[in-house]
Structure 1
Amino acid sequence: MHRFLIRLLVVLTVILGVNYIGWRWLESLNWSAWWIAIPLVLAETYSLIDVMLFGLTTWRTRERIPPPAPEGLTVDVFITTYNEPLDMVMDTAVAAQRIRYPHQTWILDDGARDELRLLAEEHGIGYLTRGDEWANRPRHAKAGNLNNALMMTQGEFMLILDADQIPRPKILDRTLGYFNNRKVSLVQTPQWFVNVPEDDPLGSQAPLFYGPLQQGKDGWNAAFFCGSNALLRREALMQLGLVGYVDEVERNIHSALKGARTAVRKARKSKDSTAPMVAGLLDEVEVATRKASADLKAGRSFSEITYNLRRTVDGAVQQLVAADFSVLQADLAEISAMGLDGGVPLTPDDVDAAVAHLSSRHWSPLGALESVQAVLEAISVERNDEAQPVMPLATISVTEDMATSMRMHSLGWKSVYHHEILAVGLAPEDLKTMLTQRLRWAQGTIQVLLRENPLTKRGMKWTQRLMYFATMWSYLSGFAAVVYIAAPVIYLLLGILPVNSLSTEFFIRFIPFMVANQLLFIVAGRGAKTWRGQQYSLALFPIWIKACTSAARNVWFGRPLDFAVTPKVKQGNSRDWHLIRPQLLAMALLAGAAVVGLVRLGVGLNEPLGTAVNVFWVVYDLVVLSVLIKAVRYQGFAPNEQPVGVLKP
């Protein structure tokens, strides 16, 4: 019955939304104020697409009953840490030791702290850190830490925990049974925090995501890895690493072949290329590159392809060098002869003439082939630029989790979301830490979108592609939020409406759509307190914009992201108002615009209906943004406070 009601509301919301947005585009735009009318209708269109993706996600929400765990499986429990307090790490590690199902517990210390190693040895806990092979090579943050551990352990399955996530003893008993299906590679459980008060001022709990959204994605076989509280199959990860290794070598060879063809084309423009020998050598290299491309497409051995092409290029280079050397010897003989006229030494003018004679020669065919030679030599199946050639967890993003599960799904593996709290952790207790965490999540997600867009990812079903894209799409909301804040301010200050008029036709389309939309969220959430999450999706608009722009600069121009591990303890005084300066400015503009709008109404410059509607939106925006005032003032969780209610399986 619940699923039927959700589907009914999804259909109703989509119909009403398409009706409203279609009317907005076709009939209601105020073209005399296109500079705000177009951005507003684009923002509304963005929101409709967001709602449609949410509706698709919840269309197949899945509730699972875990199968019993089979006996005899080997499991490694990985606790990742960098600079977290030692007692926090050890509390998690000792709790991991108490997990009932037989396993091996490992602390993966990326900080290489001797004191932590000694504590681990004292408690009989495995301790792993990186070796010298990682020196002066990319470390890839948490993904690199896990990839290093995978090469040093043997368990069939890995339970991954952050340093603050205390596992419950039954966590493996409740999740290992899903792996009876040989195609299941991932079981993700919720992340839930014990230090969050009932009003959740920092929006740390995510009952909508760790609930209807992940359950809906699970229905489409697209529940994804969230970095912690997840169990993964080693076989799937190693396949992922090997496929990624092969793909990267293949990409390098493609690039080398493309560069070789370009170099040959440019060399043909040189006047030296008209010489029969040079033209013949360039033809030989071009034929060899075409054959290499055909062999690559046919699946021939990479080493054989590069060896054959390298041998052809090396031979051509040697012949060109030999020919140039012969000419050079003749030139030198000519120069020497110039100095034997009656034993008179060369004058400065004679030297200049000789140098000019040598300098006039063109070496571009040789230079081009030497460049191709250098590129081919640089192609190495050993991947000497990395600490290890095989990287099972994805390293294309500062958040390794989403990209890893997306790649597993593209290889045909299945995932499971098990909706039961089996580990409890610590949420940020100050605004600065929370913003650092949200920025990193958003940056990593946008990196994945720009580097491996799920909409074009081969191997996934279209529904899986849309499930991943829906999460990425949500981080573009910062740009829409700016428009939603600006529109009422512009009307109240200037009297400019982005629509032709606020007629009855507008309200009979807009209001039913909004009501159906909110009912869908309420019913899908089954009473979960999702309002705080909705507030922060708008209130953190500067963070989402920064994440999009900084990730784009990183992917397109190689600018660093200044990656920072999210602190697990409170960072001093949280009353840092400058952290929300853009939101405070927006609130001041909204409040000021409301006052000015009411004054303009009083003197007859604004219409009553337009003023009422826009003042309503100002009040709504202020209520949403006001969550940040409490966030700045939040002093951390008091032990006598009651945490937010526990999720039910």
Structure 2
Amino acid sequence: MNTKLPLPGHSIPHNALFELMEKIDWSAPLPKIVTSLFFLPFLIVIISFPLDYKYQFAFGIIVLISGSLISKYFHNRFVSLLLMIFSSIMTLRYLYWRFTTTLDFNSPAESFLGYCLLIAELYGVSIMFLSYFQSAWPLNRKYVPLPKDTNLWPTMDVFIPTFNEPLDIVRCSVLAAQSIDWPSHKIKVHILDDGGRPTFKEFARQAGVNYIARLDHRHAKAGNLNHALNQTNGEYVTIFDCDHIPSRSFLQMTMGWFFKDPKLALIQTPHHFFSPDPIERNLDVHGHVPNEGELFYGLVQEGNDFWNASFFCGSCAILKRTALEKIGGIATDTVTEDAHTALKLSRKGYNLAYLSIPQASGLATDSFPAHIRQRTRWARGMAQIFRIDNPLLGRGLTIGQRLCYITAMMGFFYGFPRLVFLLAPLAYLLFGFEIYHAFALTVFSFAIPHVFMAQIANHKVQSQYRHSFWGEIYDTLLAPYVLLPVILAIINPKLGSFNVTVKGQTKFTKDQFDAKIAMPSIILFALNVIGAAYGIFNNILGGYGEYWTAVLNLVWVAFNLVILGACIFVAKEAKELRRTPRVDMELPATIFLPNGRTIFCSTVDFSNRGMSLKLPDGINLGPNKILDIGIFRETEEVRFKGVVRKGGNLLGVEFSPMDLDNYRKLVQVTFSRADNWAVDWGNNRKASPLKSLSELIGHGPLSPRKVMTNNKVRKV
């Protein structure tokens, strides 16, 4: 792999140092060894040099100010690496002090609680270092064109597995798959119906696609895919979850890499979602704050790609059949068959690729309980792989691959550490236990540079794909639910069963608060409130205990309350006014009125049931009018009939019933357009860590009040 490192992004004038950094081939061992030996003595001195809390605090402030200024005024990958180094130094200095100073406990109870906190901190630090390694140099793979001679293009099977999803969801994906630009004699679309439903078989016949069902349901989705592999013979296999709608350019954008790299077994593209997940919807931040998946598909996967460790994510991916046959098909040993399949391919020496250009889009989980079930299954599956096929053990993997795979697995082990962080300050505020045996101002002087420098470095690297502190919400929400499944999976990987993620079926006729699913957050919130109140009255006002130790723990509790408050509000499911999610997109359109009049307008959004149309200023239409609507697909105009349900200058139109051919045209002109999903990818609104924290506070302490008083209905 060529790892001569260019400086992508916004460049600054190159001086001699930057030019030298560009010329060095960092893939060679000699530069790495020389650099390590040169800096190691300095690193040891910086980490271990003793300072009292005043000088340590001053040193930390200098590093933080320097890091902030560098982050603000310099923009290239070398600067990101420099900030990671700053962060690592402050963290290692903190850890050295932590191990040599803070573990002198006074009682068995303090020792137990203190070491629980230390384990949680070590987990967090490990994930931080691993994530720095993983995302140090994203590969940013580009599109490779196919040969002009289509006779050289391989045959392709497109698999769309389904189990209990409604036909309304699957139909759109199937018709879009049929519209993929590929020689018709070299592509076959297959519905893999594990539900064995006659309506699906009839739809497959009408649509002209193959229908595959099986008598048993062993190994869930993995078994369904393997059964289809035995029934088909295409040289390559493309897989879409049944709610993922591919653009027509999917294969032409991706297949060129298989011609360039004969050892390539997989190319994965992003999972893009046109509907908000429950956290986005219920906190009303969709489109303003990047969602959970954008960090993984926007940055982490590109970092994995640099180390040849791109993950197979179960959908929106292409696999080479011969490579799958070498590993015995899709992995069936765990409930995360996709990640395990990628690991097995890597062990066999195949290359895995990631192309960060969205070429399909689907539905996010549509309720908080469904979201928790899906993430819990992912966590259990990763723990199963960790237990039965640990990437740190066995043959066939490079060091980079081992670290990338173990990072992904350990990333789901946050249940215990997260709960420890939420409860740790209560040990002192409620019971007076000193589980962090040090003078409070000294703790501030070491912990603040460690924590805030990590925020500065992560913001520099992740700002396009995750706002600071928002990841805390996702982890805190799920921590009580993933803890036990992860522990059980490590003890006995065979425990549990595969659960299908429900999408597009859960509707809320009114705003409702799910107290049952929110109960862990409510209990943790109440405990932190009690701890804060008791600490203020007992330690601050009453003068008991050490003042600054109480302040330190109260600041900690305040942050916990911000996060937990937002978590509680997530459990308030917002009423949905539409039966299907709409996609925001502006396309030129034409309205043909019965009197022969023509109005040129544009779409605002669309779904498989209707669309919104923006008329020219000064023009209005009333409700219940029947319209002919024309939308262009390249040079071809496609027409649909619709009824105006909401009149005015901004029309809400419901499509009239249409046959399968017209529905296929609707999909082609809307969902499967080649430019649909890639236009805004990675162009999220950025927010500084302080701005992000202030926005988060608005969803935190105020959230319990919002749950009781806010009845605003949001359109979804």
Contact 1:240-1:408 within 8 A present in 2 as well: yes
The aligned residue for residue 387 of structure 1 is none
Residue in structure 1 matching 2:341, options 404, 429, 433: 404
Superposition TM-score, scaled by structure 1 size: 0.72
Residue in structure 2 matching 1:518, options 426, 431, 455: 455
The aligned residue for residue 226 of structure 2 is 147
Q: Does 2:587 correspond to 1:508? A: no
The aligned residue for residue 218 of structure 1 is 305
TM-superposed CA distance for 1:550, in Å, is 3.2
Superposition TM-score, scaled by structure 2 size: 0.66
The aligned residue for residue 165 of structure 1 is 244
Which residues of 2 match residues 361-380 of structure 1 at below 5 A? none
* C-alpha distance in structure 1 between counterparts of 2:575 and 2:368, whole Å: 10
Residue in structure 2 matching 1:74, options 146, 149, 155: 155
TM-superposed CA distance for 1:622, in Å, is 1.6
Q: Does 2:544 correspond to 1:605? A: yes
The aligned residue for residue 124 of structure 1 is 208
* C-alpha distance in structure 1 between counterparts of 2:307 and 2:317, whole Å: 19
Matched position secondary structure for 1:456: coil
Which has the higher relative contact order, 1 or 2, with Cα contacts under 8 A spaced 6 or more apart? 1
Residue in structure 2 matching 1:94, options 175, 200, 222: 175
Q: Say if 1:36 and 1:527 are closer, same or farther in 2 by CA, change over 3 A.
A: same
Which residues of 2 match residues 285-304 of structure 1 at below 5 A? none
* C-alpha distance in structure 1 between counterparts of 2:541 and 2:87, whole Å: 38
Matched position secondary structure for 1:231: strand
Q: Say if 1:204 and 1:10 are closer, same or farther in 2 by CA, change over 3 A.
A: closer
Matched letter for residue 270 of structure 2: P
TM-align CA RMSD: 2.2
TM-superposed CA distance for 1:171, in Å, is 0.7
Provide, for residues 167-192 of structure 1, a one-character-per-residue CA deviation record: whole Å limited to 9, x for no partner.
01111111101111111111111111
The aligned residue for residue 309 of structure 1 is none
* C-alpha distance in structure 2 between counterparts of 1:623 and 1:641, whole Å: 31
Contact 2:305-2:353 within 8 A present in 1 as well: yes
The aligned residue for residue 590 of structure 2 is none
TM-superposed CA distance for 1:634, in Å, is 2.3
The aligned residue for residue 647 of structure 1 is 681
Provide, for residues 8-54 of structure 1, a one-character-per-residue CA deviation record: whole Å limited to 9, x for no partner.
12222222111111211111124112122111111111111110000
* C-alpha distance in structure 2 between counterparts of 1:144 and 1:446, whole Å: 20
* C-alpha distance in structure 2 between counterparts of 1:614 and 1:638, whole Å: 44
Which residues of 2 match residues 42-441 of structure 1 at below 5 A? 42-70=119-147, 71=150, 72-102=153-183, 103-131=187-215, 134=216, 139-180=218-259, 181-196=261-276, 199-201=280-282, 205-241=292-328, 392-441=329-378
* C-alpha distance in structure 2 between counterparts of 1:221 and 1:87, whole Å: 38
* C-alpha distance in structure 1 between counterparts of 2:227 and 2:165, whole Å: 19
* Unmatched segments (≥5 aa) in structure 1: 242-391
Matched letter for residue 567 of structure 1: V
Which residues of 2 match residues 431-510 of structure 1 at below 5 A? 431-510=368-447
* C-alpha distance in structure 2 between counterparts of 1:201 and 1:410, whole Å: 42
TM-superposed CA distance for 1:436, in Å, is 0.9
Matched letter for residue 19 of structure 1: R
Contact 2:161-2:224 within 8 A present in 1 as well: yes
* C-alpha distance in structure 1 between counterparts of 2:440 and 2:487, whole Å: 38
The aligned residue for residue 620 of structure 1 is 559
TM-superposed CA distance for 1:473, in Å, is 0.7
* C-alpha distance in structure 2 between counterparts of 1:567 and 1:472, whole Å: 24
Provide, for residues 171-217 of structure 1, a one-character-per-residue CA deviation record: whole Å limited to 9, x for no partner.
11111011111111111111111111794548954111111111101
* C-alpha distance in structure 1 between counterparts of 2:531 and 2:582, whole Å: 39
Matched letter for residue 113 of structure 2: I
TM-superposed CA distance for 1:616, in Å, is 1.3
TM-superposed CA distance for 1:570, in Å, is 4.1
Residue in structure 1 matching 2:568, options 607, 616, 629: 629
Q: Does 2:529 correspond to 1:591? A: yes
Q: Say if 1:526 and 1:101 are closer, same or farther in 2 by CA, change over 3 A.
A: farther
Structure with bigger helix share is 1
The aligned residue for residue 360 of structure 1 is none
Contact 1:80-1:107 within 8 A present in 2 as well: yes
Matched position secondary structure for 1:158: strand
**Higher Cα radius of gyration:** 1
* C-alpha distance in structure 2 between counterparts of 1:440 and 1:464, whole Å: 23
Contact 1:539-1:583 within 8 A present in 2 as well: yes
The aligned residue for residue 285 of structure 1 is none
* C-alpha distance in structure 2 between counterparts of 1:204 and 1:196, whole Å: 8
Q: Say if 1:415 and 1:532 are closer, same or farther in 2 by CA, change over 3 A.
A: same
Q: Say if 1:200 and 1:522 are closer, same or farther in 2 by CA, change over 3 A.
A: farther
* Higher mean displacement: 616-625 or 409-418: 616-625
The aligned residue for residue 620 of structure 2 is none
Q: Does 2:519 correspond to 1:563? A: no
Matched letter for residue 628 of structure 1: C
Matched position secondary structure for 2:571: helix
Contact 2:161-2:240 within 8 A present in 1 as well: yes
Matched position secondary structure for 1:80: strand
Matched position secondary structure for 1:49: helix
* C-alpha distance in structure 1 between counterparts of 2:248 and 2:372, whole Å: 32
The aligned residue for residue 482 of structure 2 is 544
TM-superposed CA distance for 1:552, in Å, is 3.0
Matched letter for residue 333 of structure 2: I
Provide, for residues 602-627 of structure 1, a one-character-per-residue CA deviation record: whole Å limited to 9, x for no partner.
11113332222211111211211223
Matched letter for residue 4 of structure 1: F
Matched letter for residue 97 of structure 1: Q
The aligned residue for residue 7 of structure 1 is 81
* C-alpha distance in structure 2 between counterparts of 1:407 and 1:626, whole Å: 42
The aligned residue for residue 335 of structure 1 is none
Matched letter for residue 5 of structure 1: V
Structure with bigger strand share is 2
Matched position secondary structure for 1:31: coil
